Amino acid sequence: MVSEKEEFDVVVLGLGPGGEEIGQRLAEAGLAVAGVEAELVGGECPYWACVPSKMMLRASDVLAECRRVPGLAGTSHAEPDWAPVARRIRDEATDDWNDKVAAERFSGTGATLVRGRGRITGDREVTVEPTGDGAGEIRVLRARRGIVLATGTVPAVPPIPGLAETPFWTNRGAVRTEKVPESLIVLGGGAVGVELTQVFARFGAQVTLLESADRLLPGEEPEAGELLAKVFAEDGVTVRTGTKVTRVDHHGSAFTAMTEDGSYRAERLLVATGRRVDLAGVGVGAMGVDESAPAIEVDERMRAADGLWAIGDVTGQGAFTHMAIYQAGIARADILGEPGPLGRRHAVPRVTFTDPEVGGVGLTEAKARERGLAVRVVTGDLSGRGWIHGAEGFVKMVAEDGDDPVLVGASAAGPYAGEVLGMLTLAVHARVPVRELRSMIYAYPTFHRAVGDALKKMG
**Which of these, 88, 67, 22, lies nearest to 334 by C-alpha position?**
22
CA distance 199 to 343: 35
DSSP 96-155: TT--HHHHHHHHTTTPEEEESEEEEEETTEEEEE--TT--S-BEEEEEEEEEEE----EE
pLDDT value at residue 3:
67
Global confidence as pTM: 0.95
CA distance 33 to 36: 10
> Tell me, what amino acid is at 296?
I
383 confidence band (pLDDT: 50, 70, 90): confident
Return the minimum-mean-pLDDT range out of 91-105, 130-144, 422-436. 130-144
**Residue-wise pLDDT tens digits, 384-410:** 899 999 899 999 999 999 889 999 999
pLDDT value at residue 35:
98
Q: What is the bridge-based pairing of β-strands 206-211 and 183-187?
A: parallel
CA distance 269 to 217: 19
CA distance 341 to 332: 11
DSSP 400-448: E-SSS-EEEEEEEEETTHHHHHHHHHHHHHTT-BHHHHHHS---TT-ST
**Residue-wise pLDDT tens digits, 124-179:** 999 999 987 656 799 999 999 999 999 999 999 999 999 999 999 999 999 999 99
DSSP 326-392: HHHHHHHHHHHT---PPP--TT-EEEE-SSSEEEEEE--HHHHHHTT--EEEEEE--HHHHHHHT--
Do residues 238 and 250 lie in contact, with contact meaning Cβ atoms separated by under 8 Å?
A: no
Angle at 40 (CA atoms; ends 19, 145), nearest 5 degrees = 30
